[in-house]
Amino acid sequence: MIETVFYAASIVALVSTVMALTRAHVTHALIYLILSLLAVAVIFFLLGAPFAAALQVLIYAGAIMVLFVFVAMMLNLGEAGEARERQWMGFRTWIVPSILAALLLAELLIAIKLGGEQTSGQSVSPKEVGLSLYGPYVLAVEIAAMLLLSALTGAYHVARAFRAPNQEGPS
């Protein structure tokens, strides 16, 4: 049964990733990307790594996606952009992501009900993960943080450069 849930989560991850890559609208792509990240979290959980699954949900599906939504909001180009966003929020926009999210929820509930056994070698506490990340790899973590900050700043300046002079927006 766990294998079936694993393969179903894998299919959801693949389909939602392909959908995220092929969407023309940023909002749709972000919704599918969030679903893909949640599916990967289910896969981590099934592989016996609940801490990695929790980090996947909190950091990637939570914090990084908020950053992406912030950048997408920053790229909004006035009233035409607002009209497009209102049109995107219709019922049809949410059908496929809702079905995929419901499938992931059902998979997670099945995994929790049937699970309990870990398939990895040993359990690792959050303290051990933190010590290993911020011990010898503190420079790499700080460089990754600076890279994300520079990407956000670059996206802001690119969006400002392409904004028409007569449109108002955040300065």
pLDDT in tens, 42-64: 888 888 778 778 888 888 878 88
For position 22, which CATH number holds? 1.20.120.1200
Residue 37: domain span: 2-122
Distances 112 to 5, 62, 68, 145 between C-alpha atoms, Å: 11, 22, 30, 33
Confirm whether 133 is domain-assigned: no
Query: Any residues with CB less than 8 A from the CB of 40 and at least 6 apart, and which?
Result: 13, 56
Query: What is the pTM for the complete model shown?
Result: 0.54
Confirm whether 159 is domain-assigned: no
Confirm whether 166 is domain-assigned: no
Confirm whether 131 is domain-assigned: no
Mean pLDDT of 129-135: 76
Domains identified in the chain, total number: 1
For 64-101, the pLDDT digits (tens) are: 878 777 777 776 656 666 676 677 677 777 788 888 88
Confirm whether 137 is domain-assigned: no
Confirm whether 127 is domain-assigned: no
Confirm whether 21 is domain-assigned: yes
Confirm whether 150 is domain-assigned: no
